[in-house]
Chains A and B, each alone.
Chain A
Amino acid sequence: MNDRPRFVEIKHDKDKDVVVLEGDWTIHNAAPIEKEIEHAIQEINGHPYEVVGDKIGKLDTSGAFLLKKLTAREKVPPHLADTQRTVLDFLPAYAEYTPPPKKTPPIAVASFSLVGEKTVRALDFGWDIFAFIGRIAVCFVSNLLHPRHFRLPSIARHIQETGISALPIVGLLSVLMAMVVTYQGANQLRRFGADIYTVDLTVISLLREMSVLVTAIMVAGRSGSAFAAEIGVMNLRDEISALKTMGMDPIEVLVLPRVIALLITLPLLTFLADIIGLFGGGLMSLSLLNLTFDQYFNRVGDVATPTMFFIGMIKAPVFALIIAIIGCYQGLNVSGSAESVGRRTTLAVVQAIFIVIMADGLFSIAFSKADI
C-alpha cells in the first residue's frame, strides 16, 4: 500500500528517465524523502535523467538540500516553480561534509607518545602546583607586610560558606561515625570481656584519626569543589583576565581569602567533630555498655590526653591547605568549555581527598617514628 513512493516517482522514457517530484519537501518529510531518493538513485543507475519538480508544494532548506542531492550528479537543473527556484539558488551547492583528516600514527608510536604525554603532564602538574604554592606564600608574606591587603569581607564570606554552613552536616556525620565505631568496638571487645576498652577505642580513633579525616573529606567534597567551580566559571567568563588587567592579583583576590578561610574553619570543624563525636560515642555506650554519662566521661578523661587531641588537630590546617590549594588551582586551570569546569571540579575533589589520605599516612609514620 505504502510501497508507492509519495515524493519521488520515476517514469522511464525512451532515451532518458524522468523523475517527477511531488508533495511538501520540508523537514517534516525529510526522512521518507531521503529514502525515496536513495531508491531513485539506485533505480536510475547511471542512466541520463531529468528532474521535474513543478508539483512540489512547500520547499524549505532541508527539502532544497535533498533536491540538490538528487540532482548533484546531473548538471541539468530541475524544472521548478519560480519561488522554489529562488530557495534552491539561495542554498550553496551540494557538498559532502568531509571532516579534516586526522593523522593517526601507528599504534606503537601512539602508545609511546601517550605514555610520554601523560608523564610530561604529571611532571608539569607537580611543578605547577609547587609554583602555585610558592606564589600563594609570596602573596601571603607581602600581605603580612601590608595587612590592609587582606580581604576581610571575602575571608568572612568564605568562613561563612565553608565553616558555618557546614556545621550541621559535619556534626551529624561525626555522631553517626562515633556510634558506628563504638558499636563495632563493643561487639568485638565483649567477646574478650574487655567491654570497657570500647571507650578507649572510640576516644583514640576519634581524636587521633577519624574526626579530622572525615571532616576533611566532607570539606573537600563541599568546599574544594565549590572553589574549583566558582573560580572556573569566573575564568570561563574572562573575569580572571579582567582582574589581571585592573592590576589585581587573582591569587590575592580569589585564592588567598579561600585558603585563609579554610585554614580557620577546618580546625574549628574538626574540634566540633571531636566533641560531638565523643557525645555520640557516649550515647552508644549508654545503651550498649550500661554506663552512665558520668562514668563514660570519667573514662574519657582517663584515656584522652592533650597529645592525642593535638595529634588530630595539627593535621587539620595541613588538610585545609591541601584542599584549598588544589581547589583553587583546578579552578584557575579551567579552559574553553563547560565540560572543562566539570572535569576540573571532579579532579579538585578526587586529588584533594587522595592527597589528604596520603598526608594522613605520612603523619602516622612520622608520629610512630617519634613515638607519640
Chain B
Amino acid sequence: MRPLIELKDVTNRFGRQVVHNRINFTLYEHEAIGLVGGSGSGKTVLLRTIVGLNKPKEGCVLVDGADLYSLTVEQRLEWQKRLGVMFQNGALFSALTVLDNVALPLREHTQLSKKTIKDLAYIKLQMVRLQADAASKYPSALSGGMTTRAGVARAMALDPEILFLDEPTGGLDPIAATSLDELMRDLHKVLRLTIFIITHDPSTLVTVCDRIAMIIDGKIESGTLDELLKSTNPKVQEYFKGERVQAVLAKRH
C-alpha cells in the first residue's frame, strides 16, 4: 500500500504540557483507521496537525513525500481539495441551509452550472440518508444525528480521497450510530476512500476500521484489532479489557 501521510517525530506541546512526544505514524492509501485514546490525550490535536491546521512544534508531516507545512499556497490548495474533514459537532455554517452547506465547496471549486450543483449537493445528502425536507433547513433546526450526516455530506462534497471524521457517532442513539457505521463502511469499501476516524465507539472500531491507532502517553501504538488485543502494553490491555469494548468484541464472530 502506498503511504499517503507520514508523521515524522511530531511533537506538540501547549505550554509545558507535552501532548505528542515524537510521534511516528503512517496513513496508507485505501485504509480505514480508527484513532482512540482517553479524553485529553490529543486526538483532535493530532487530526488538526494532519489536516494542516496546527503546525507541530517539532517534526514534520509528509504528504506525498513533501512537507505539508512548507508547501506553496497552490500546492496547499491542491492538497486541501483531496481531503474532507468533518469536525466534532459538524461545524456546519449556521447562516446557510443544509443544502447550501454542501453546495458551498462545489460553488467555490468547480465550474458546474448552478442547477447541477444543487442536484449534486442534493444527491450527496440522499447518499448520507438525509430526508428531503432536511435540505432546506438551517443547521440550528437539525437533530444531532442529522447534523453529523450533513457534516459527512459536506466533507464528501468534493469527492475527497481521504475523509477525516472527528467523533462521528458521539451523542447518537444506537440505531443512528449503527447506520452511520454502515455509511462509513460503504464509503470505505465501495468508494475506496481512505478514512481516518476519531472515535470512542467500540462498534465503529470493529465494523469500520482496518487498523487502530491508540495514543498512549504522547506516543502512538497501532495495529489491527487482533494485534492490539495481543499487545503486552498495559494501557492497551486496560482499554480493550474494558467492559464496553468487551461487550462489542463478544458479538464479533
Whole-angstrom distance from the CB of A14 to the nearest CB of chain B? 33
| 8 Å CB interface, A346-365 against B | none
A95 with B110: CB separation less than 8 A: no
Q: State how many residues of chain A have any CB contact under 8 Å with chain B.
A: 28
Measured CB to CB, the nearest residue on chain A to B136 is A100
Cβ of B116 within 8 Å of any chain A Cβ, yes or no, is yes
> How far is the CB of A231 from the nearest CB of chain B, in Å?
17
Which of A31, A61, A99, A337 sits near B127, CB closer than 8 Å? A61
Which residues of the partner chain B approach A336 to less than 8 Å between Cβ atoms?
94, 138, 140
B-facing residues in A60-109 (Cβ within 8 Å):
60-62, 65-66, 68-69, 86-87, 90-92, 94-97, 99-100
Question: Is there contact, CB below 8 Å, between B190 and A97?
Answer: no
* Closest-CB distance, B23 to chain A (whole angstroms): 31
* Shortest Cβ gap from B100 to chain A (Å): 11
Residues on A lying within 8 angstroms of B by beta carbon are 26-27, 30-31, 34, 60-62, 65-66, 68-69, 86-87, 90-92, 94-97, 99-100, 335-339
A91 to B191, CA, bound (A): 10
- Is A97 within 8 A of B121, CB to CB? yes
User: A95 to nearest B CB, angstroms?
Assistant: 7
Query: Are A27 and B158 interface neighbours, CB within 8 A?
Result: yes
Interface size class of B (residues with CB under 8 A): 20 to 34
B24 lies within 8 A of chain A by Cβ: no
Q: Which residues of chain A come closer than 8 Å to B139, judged between CB atoms?
A: 337
Indicate whether B226 reaches chain A with its CB closer than 8 angstroms. no
Q: Give which listed residue, A26, A34, A92, A338, contacts B123 with CB less than 8 A.
A: A92
Q: Which residues of B contact A61 (CB under 8 A)?
A: 123-124, 127, 156, 159, 191
Option from B112, B126, B158 in Cβ contact (under 8 Å) with A31: B112
B135 proximal to A (CB < 8 A): yes
Q: Out of A66, A97, A335, which one reaches B122, CB within 8 Å? A: A97
By a CB distance below 8 angstroms, the chain A residues around B122 are 95-97
Establish whether residues B112 and A86, one from each chain, have CB atoms under 8 Å apart when the complex forms.
no
A27 to B94: give the CA distance in the assembly, Å: 26
What are 24 A-B pairs with beta-carbon distances under 8 A?
A26-B159, A27-B110, A27-B158, A27-B159, A30-B112, A34-B112, A60-B191, A61-B156, A86-B190, A87-B190, A92-B123, A94-B119, A94-B123, A95-B119, A95-B122, A96-B115, A99-B136, A100-B136, A335-B140, A336-B94, A336-B140, A337-B138, A338-B94, A339-B94
A338 and B95 in contact, given A96-B119, A99-B136 (Cβ under 8 angstroms): yes
A337 engages B95 (CB within 8 Å): yes
Q: A34-B113, A337-B139 are in contact. List 7 more A-B contacts (CB 8 A).
A: A27-B159, A31-B112, A60-B191, A61-B156, A66-B116, A100-B136, A338-B94
